[in-house]
Chains A and B, each alone.
Chain A
Amino acid sequence: MKRELIEFKDKLPPKLLEDLERELLDKASGSKIKKIAEKIHAEYRGSLAEPGEAVGLVTAESIGEPGTQMTLNTFHFAGVSEMNVTTGLPRLIEILDARKVISTNMMEIYLKKPYSQGKDIRQIAEGLKETRFKEYIKEININVAETKMRIELDDKKLKDRGMTSTKIARILKKSLKGFDVRIDKDNSIRIKTSGEEALNMIYRLKEKIKDIYVNGVKGITQVLPVKREEEYVIVTAGSNLKDVLKLDFIDAQRTTTNNINEIEKLFGIEAVREAIVREIIKVLKDQGINIDVRHILLVADAMTMSGKVLGVSRYGIVKEKPSVLARASFETPIRHVINASMVGEIDELNSVIENVMINQPVPLGTGLPGLITKIKEEKGAKKKK
């Protein structure tokens, strides 16, 4: 790094320094560089939030105002049928509320080298899909007299998913212990029940076998290989990051899910902070709304600073507020006041809302600074204001 820039190392953010160095290295003399850097430093300091600035409220307004322009519609995924994606306001609310169950789980699975170029992309994608036995069935025949069931398999499906009837039979045998499962010569499967309840059993079994898990990743209901800048990515409906990461052909570095809860379980709170920021930006971006990242970072910080994910709701962030009056002013006031009175809570009146309520200057902006010197009390004067 240039000598002149080194003294600014602690004063300017690394990104700015990098840009400066790249742009100015050969074009300007040392003294010029210093002058420019000083100007930038002054500008940078002027852009910092001042002490006592209401960053939280500005964030709330900056996100809330464009939020009124967002659509309430979910949008239909082009191409694959019946793939609705929650976007816009409902999705934003979902993220900010830190919902455990979200309406549309989605994953973006990146692949390792040969596959990312499109090798066997269809098979890989199809292989990820959770499939149950009913999808392989072409026809079920029940022989009542012999309490037997003959299941004809769909050859095309089998081929598509890289399955064979033997493999399926093995899975069936495993999950149907105590039943007689066999493969016929024509690749159909035969199941026989015996005992007193044999007839009832066969009908019950018919329904049961339909739901037997065969292959794929549990939780992933639909897959869609998409080409994204010279590379194939698999977008899925349904999410199971834990199991997907175990697969050897995926790029574990970049594969993600939109389920924040899942990320919290797997990677911890720092990752959640990142995920919240990313998801919010994603929503805003496809609504064509431009909000400064710093607002979003602040929201993400507020949601994650306690070590667990808190939603921006009366069960989350608001519940953590130290002031009784502040909590009571946001939804269910009576409950907050009663609970506070039971433990004898003290409101120190340190924050904004309380002071608005009692009509005192709020500790922000011009209301923040106070006198340091204590005024001596006059002798004999009664303490009466």
Chain B
Amino acid sequence: MSELFLNNKYIGKVDNGKEFVNQLLEQRRNNKFSININFLYHDKTDQIFVETSSGRCIRPLIVIKDSKSALTETHVEKLEKNEVKWSDLLKQGVVEYLDSLEEESSIVSLKESNLTQDDTHLDISPIDIFGLTSSLVPFGNYNQGVRLTQGSKNQKQAVGFYTANFFARMDMDVNLLHYPQRPVVTTVTNEILDMDRHPSGQNIVVAIMSYKGYNMEDAIVINKGSIDRGFGRSTYYRPVITEELRYSGGLTDEISIPDKDVKGYRTEHDYRFLEEDGIIYSEGVVEEGDVIIGKTSPPRFLSSLEEYNLATTSRRESSSALKHGEKGIVDFVMLTESEEGNKLVQVRLRDQRIPEIGDKFTSRHGQKGVISLVIPEADVPFTASGIKPDIIFSPYGVPSRMTVSHLIELLAAKTGALSGRYIDGTTFEGEKEADIRLELLKMGFRDNGTETMYNGITGEQYQAKIFVGNMYYLKLKHMVANKIHSRARGPIQLLTRQPTEGRAKEGGLRLGEMEKDTFVAHGASLLLKERFDSDKTEVPVCENCGLIAVYDTRRNNFHCPVCGENVEISNVEMSYAFKLILDEFKSMTIYPKLKLKSKY
């Protein structure tokens, strides 16, 4: 007697578990009930599990009947002629869905040629073992597994053509590549995912060589001519959104050019782009500090008295302006209504991004790199036939990472570009490397992909033969323009008087605890003091009671709140943070008495 569990709940008992489950499987394949139900007979515990719950992961597999694939040649032919559909295969029991439970009792073969006696199922394609983006890596079967993962991670960050209706959209943080191309070396997944209509890279010429040491440590050297012709250009879109909010008491925000008497009024110059409706015009070229949408809000805390006297005059300025380091061109202005029925203004900014030093590029094999040098086209090395690479990639990136697929793609794309056809590089099932080499040889090139090259500056021939070819390169969304940051002086925090933190606030880079230790270890005592001078203050201290005294600007004298005016008061230099901790001690009813002594 076997116990039967439906969705892990005990239901009852069955005479012969194995037989029972086999019957159920047979009936499911014969379309007697839903294909989404899975069964498992567990030998050791003599239990049957039936799963029907929602949200399970299921995957399709070809059924094996009598050690032969249920998917026959005739099926394939009919599929190609569109006479049979996927749903028909499911109905016929050729393909079925397995969940993790039923997978437990089945043995799945990766390839039809590897079928053994015990196999119960067959993968539809060997690339089923990869995820969507992992299977986009061409010739992935030549690689170490980690590189596939990294390659797929890089592809997710690529700048491309993510949607065709981007004109009508107000997405945050969008990058669009200007001349996206279909890769010469494609994969089956490329087709399945319709990547040809949403490409994310460009086919370029890559030479694997060093260039004056500028491409060491994963840096890449790029041809200025390629950039000028549009390689790697993208546009960055960012919306500025403001809503006219309603507050209690019938008060509302107002989108308009703020009056000069508004609290927090910027300068007239900052509002220069605003039209009468308080919104910027299209194609306005804006920089940091410029107001995009002018807005005023009612005062924050209304006491009953003020409401009558000052309500109209004390409105707050709450415009949307560009923050530090931002720039762009107004692309599109849209006026709509929010869900609550408030006036909603959306302004989309656009900024063209031309590749520059510090921008990140990658091939599809986890071989990412940052531009370190842009060289004039005249200085770029060239081949005997006059081909100039767009990117010079360092050979030291290959041996330790073992990305063989990178090299094979280069070779395959070269062949594809020369013969004018797309090359299938699907993992496990792509064209064979030997065939590609032979084809290249027939076209009059060396079969190992190397060519004689000449120094672009001197015109001398390089002694070594250089491995050049085509590759599909992706521009990644990490661009210096969004990250560059420096500060010599700037805003400070109100509480601590220390510099603000972060790029958006034009902040400083913190010299932390461990960094402090390095100064101490070097005995650089005075340098350390200077570095921590950012919040230095001079505080008057009463020498009698040792507490912080007061300086009265109007009367130009000092007095101690405890001891009065007739006491010795000296100015003491200390960090503002220390003054704060003294205050905090006082709030804890601890008396922090300072005993002063001349420094000299």
Q: List 21 A-B contacts (CB under 8 A).
A: A54-B520, A54-B521, A57-B520, A57-B521, A60-B517, A61-B517, A334-B588, A352-B520, A357-B581, A358-B575, A359-B536, A360-B574, A362-B520, A366-B525, A366-B527, A367-B525, A367-B529, A371-B600, A383-B568, A385-B598, A385-B599
The answer to whether B600 and A374 have CB atoms under 8 Å apart is yes
A60 to B517, CA, bound (A): 10
Which A positions have Cβ atoms within 8 angstroms of B?
A: 52-54, 57-58, 60-61, 334, 337-338, 341, 346, 352, 356-368, 371, 374-375, 383-385
The answer to whether A366 and B523 have CB atoms under 8 Å apart is yes
The answer to whether B523 and A365 have CB atoms under 8 Å apart is yes
User: Would you call B533 an interface residue if the criterion is a C-beta within 8 Å of the partner chain's C-beta atoms?
Assistant: yes
With A359-B575, A374-B600, A383-B598 given, is the CB distance from A338 to B525 under 8 Å? no
A363 to B493, CA, bound (A): 30
Which residues in chain B, 525-575, are within 8 Å of chain A measured between CB atoms?
525-529, 532-533, 535-536, 568, 570-571, 573-575
Query: What B residues does A384 contact at CB under 8 A?
Result: 570-571
The DSSP consensus for interface residues of chain A is loop
Query: Ordered nearest first, which 4 A-B pairs have the shortest CB separation?
Result: A365-B523, A367-B525, A359-B575, A341-B590
Given A361-B528, A384-B570, A385-B570, 4 more pairs with CB closer than 8 A: A357-B577, A360-B574, A362-B520, A365-B523
Closest A residue by C-beta to B527 = A366
B: contact size bracket: 20 to 34
The answer to whether B574 and A359 have CB atoms under 8 Å apart is yes
User: Would you call B585 an interface residue if the criterion is a C-beta within 8 Å of the partner chain's C-beta atoms?
Assistant: yes
Query: What B residues does A375 contact at CB under 8 A?
Result: 600
A95 to B449, CA, bound (A): 60
Which residues in chain B, 495-542, are within 8 Å of chain A measured between CB atoms?
516-517, 520-529, 532-533, 535-536
User: Would you call B20 an interface residue if the criterion is a C-beta within 8 Å of the partner chain's C-beta atoms?
Assistant: no
Least distance between A357 CB and chain B CB atoms (Å): 6
Query: What B residues does A371 contact at CB under 8 A?
Result: 600
Least distance between A242 CB and chain B CB atoms (Å): 42
A349 to B289, CA, bound (A): 46
A359 to B526, CA, bound (A): 10
With A338-B590, A357-B578, A384-B570 given, is the CB distance from A346 to B595 under 8 Å? yes
A210 to B87, CA, bound (A): 72
The answer to whether A359 and B529 have CB atoms under 8 Å apart is yes
- Select which of B517, B523, B526 is within 8 A of A52 by beta carbon: B523
The answer to whether A337 and B588 have CB atoms under 8 Å apart is yes
The answer to whether B585 and A359 have CB atoms under 8 Å apart is no
The answer to whether A61 and B600 have CB atoms under 8 Å apart is no
The answer to whether B529 and A338 have CB atoms under 8 Å apart is no
Task: Tell me which of A58, A346, A352, A364 has the highest count of chain B C-beta atoms within 10 A of its own C-beta.
Answer: A364
Which residues in chain B, 578-600, are within 8 Å of chain A measured between CB atoms?
578, 581, 585, 588, 590-591, 595, 598-600
Least distance between B262 CB and chain A CB atoms (Å): 40
Closest A residue by C-beta to B543 = A383
Least distance between B46 CB and chain A CB atoms (Å): 36
Query: What B residues does A360 contact at CB under 8 A?
Result: 529, 574
A218 to B211, CA, bound (A): 72
With A53-B523, A364-B520, A385-B598 given, is the CB distance from A356 to B528 under 8 Å? yes
Query: What B residues does A60 contact at CB under 8 A?
Result: 517
- Select which of A334, A367, A374 is within 8 A of B526 by beta carbon: A367
Closest B residue by C-beta to A363 = B525
The answer to whether B574 and A358 have CB atoms under 8 Å apart is yes
Least distance between B72 CB and chain A CB atoms (Å): 54
Least distance between B588 CB and chain A CB atoms (Å): 7
- Select which of A57, A337, A366 is within 8 A of B517 by beta carbon: A57
Closest A residue by C-beta to B572 = A385
The answer to whether A365 and B575 have CB atoms under 8 Å apart is no
The answer to whether A366 and B526 have CB atoms under 8 Å apart is yes
The answer to whether B525 and A364 have CB atoms under 8 Å apart is yes
- Select which of A54, A61, A359 is within 8 A of B523 by beta carbon: A54
With A365-B525, A367-B526 given, is the CB distance from A359 to B570 under 8 Å? no
Query: What A residues does B575 contact at CB under 8 A?
Result: 357-359
A57 to B515, CA, bound (A): 12
Closest A residue by C-beta to B533 = A359
Query: What A residues does B527 contact at CB under 8 A?
Result: 366
A60 to B568, CA, bound (A): 43
Closest A residue by C-beta to B592 = A341
Closest A residue by C-beta to B569 = A384
The answer to whether A365 and B529 have CB atoms under 8 Å apart is no
Query: What B residues does A363 contact at CB under 8 A?
Result: 525
Least distance between B22 CB and chain A CB atoms (Å): 46
With A371-B600, A375-B600 given, is the CB distance from A361 to B525 under 8 Å? yes
With A57-B521, A375-B600, A383-B598 given, is the CB distance from A361 to B574 under 8 Å? no
A368 to B529, CA, bound (A): 13
A367 to B519, CA, bound (A): 12
- Select which of B521, B568, B573 is within 8 A of A359 by beta carbon: B573
The answer to whether B525 and A368 have CB atoms under 8 Å apart is yes
Query: What A residues does B522 contact at CB under 8 A?
Result: 365
Query: What B residues does A367 contact at CB under 8 A?
Result: 523, 525-526, 529
A337 to B573, CA, bound (A): 23
The answer to whether B570 and A361 have CB atoms under 8 Å apart is no
The answer to whether B591 and A341 have CB atoms under 8 Å apart is yes
Query: What B residues does A352 contact at CB under 8 A?
Result: 520
Query: What A residues does B574 contact at CB under 8 A?
Result: 358-360
Query: What A residues does B570 contact at CB under 8 A?
Result: 383-385
A364 to B526, CA, bound (A): 10
Closest B residue by C-beta to A362 = B525
The answer to whether A362 and B588 have CB atoms under 8 Å apart is no
A52 to B529, CA, bound (A): 16
Closest B residue by C-beta to A359 = B575
Question: Digit string of B82-96 for contact with A (CB within 8 Å is 1, else 0)?
Answer: 000000000000000
A199 to B520, CA, bound (A): 75
Query: What B residues does A385 contact at CB under 8 A?
Result: 570-571, 598-599
Least distance between A301 CB and chain B CB atoms (Å): 19
